[in-house]
Amino acid sequence: MSYSFKTCPFCGQTWTSREEFLADGDILLIGYQVNFEDLVLGLLLFNHGVCQTTLAVKAGLLKDLCIGPVFRERRTGEKDCRGFCLKRSELSPCPAECECAWVRGLMQVIRRWPKNAVESKSAMR
């Protein structure tokens, strides 16, 4: 049995590594569903352009890609919190020194990830 990072439940396309997944021109980050109990279990949401399915990936599977500080205290609801984690489709980085900020930083890494130069399958439709 071979390892795969993610398989689309609708069309069955499989990505063997997270790098292959993130580099796919048909994969677009569209949001984040927070899990305040355990941030690594929060879900990064992606649109698969080929079949228009939303795919979820646990933030913990990509956490090591994040660069920058990791804070210990959660600032949700405090004066310096902009509430980004409460807005599923908000992709902006968070300026607060909050334990959730690493996820916001991770999303910036994902958004800047170089996409394959090969024309995407959805663009060929």
Q: What is the mean pLDDT of the chain?
A: 90
Domain carrying residue 53: 6-111
What is the band of 121 on the pLDDT scale with cuts at 50, 70, 90? Answer: low
Beta bridge partners of 43: 33, 58
Is 123 contained in some domain?
A: no
Mean pLDDT of 72-77: 91
Q: Is the pLDDT of residue 4 over 50?
A: yes
Phi, psi of 71 (to 5 degrees): -95, 155
Is 27 contained in some domain?
A: yes
Is 119 contained in some domain?
A: no
pLDDT tens digits along 17-73: 999 999 999 999 999 999 999 999 999 999 999 999 999 999 999 999 987 788 999
- Number of domains making up the chain: 1
Q: Is residue 54 a contact partner of residue 110, using CB atoms and an 8 Å limit?
A: no
Mean pLDDT of 79-108: 92
What pLDDT, on the 0 to 100 scale, is given for residue 70? 86
Is 34 contained in some domain?
A: yes
Helix (H) or strand (E) holding 29: strand 27-33
How many other CB atoms are found less than 10 A from the CB of residue 77? 8
Cα–Cα distances (Å) from 65 to 2, 12, 59, 74, in that order, read 24, 26, 10, 21
Mean pLDDT of 97-109: 93
What pLDDT, on the 0 to 100 scale, is given for residue 117? 62
Is 18 contained in some domain?
A: yes
What is the band of 94 on the pLDDT scale with cuts at 50, 70, 90? Answer: confident
Is 100 contained in some domain?
A: yes
Is 43 contained in some domain?
A: yes
